[in-house]
Amino acid sequence: MPGNGKKYPVVVMGIGNILWADEGFGVRAVEEFHKAWKTPEGVTVLDGGTLGYFLSEYIEESSKLIIFDCCDFRAEPGTFSILTKDDINPWLATKMSAHQDGLTDLFAMAKIRRRYPDEIVVLGCQPADLEDYGGSLTPKVQAAVPAAVEAAAKQLEAWGYAPARRPEGEKVEPLAESCLEQDVYEAGRPSEAAACRFADPRFLPHGEKSGKEEA
């Protein structure tokens, strides 16, 4: 049986938080992958966002798993890397945000339950900014998205699940709420002057600098 009897032979997921600038890399990358490639039967593509424990089914019931995420390689911002096998351990051990705490536990539990994926590939990008609340991906990280998308397609092909490139202009159902898609989300962002990114303005006296600005 495909996938060694597991429910999801192959899962492609993006994780992260689009509210914190480059923390959204994984979500934006899987969004672009979904728009660019039609996957064959047996491949599940999802926006994992910050779902944490709700992703346990997809981890434990997948045979092969591709994850888009921002990763701390101690490298230049925008550096894209592919992690496999033992290279994944530092990714699991390095907490860059709250969503990774849950993932560490999920993978540990999958091992204990002997339901760990047979293969895991992490497509990661070094972030430049994780503190711009409401901000978009920084230019260098945005530029790394196409490489991550192509890497995912090549990995699926290597596993025998070759995707087909979608015709230009084809409309696809979004992976999450349509208002969260990058184009819509970016277009609806208020100006820098109208949006306070670092604190609730009700508790930040007018004219007072935030801690980040003072630093």
Using the Cα atoms of residue 163, residue 160, residue 45 and residue 121 in order, give the sign of their dihedral: negative
Contact of 60 with 35, CB cutoff 8 Å: no
Inform me whether the pLDDT recorded for 99 exceeds 70: no
Among 128-137, 146-155, 189-198, the minimum mean pLDDT is found in 189-198
Inform me whether the pLDDT recorded for 104 exceeds 70: yes
Inform me whether the pLDDT recorded for 215 exceeds 50: no
Indicate the average pLDDT of the chain. 86
* pLDDT score at 211: 47
* pLDDT score at 134: 81
* pLDDT score at 214: 44
Token pair recorded at residue 66: 């591709």
Contact of 161 with 40, CB cutoff 8 Å: yes
Architecture of domain 2-172: 3-Layer(aba) Sandwich (3.40)
What pTM did the predictor assign?
0.86
* pLDDT score at 180: 85
Inform me whether the pLDDT recorded for 52 exceeds 60: yes
* pLDDT score at 96: 60
Inform me whether the pLDDT recorded for 3 exceeds 60: no
- Of residues 89 and 208, the one with the higher pLDDT is 89
Determine the Cα–Cα distance for residues 6 and 61; give it in Å rounded to an integer. 5
Mean pLDDT of 146-164: 98
- Of residues 206 and 140, the one with the higher pLDDT is 140
Inform me whether the pLDDT recorded for 98 exceeds 60: no
Contact of 181 with 171, CB cutoff 8 Å: no
Determine the Cα–Cα distance for residues 158 and 57; give it in Å rounded to an integer. 24
Helix (H, G, I), strand (E, B) or coil at 80: strand
Token pair recorded at residue 192: 């820098």
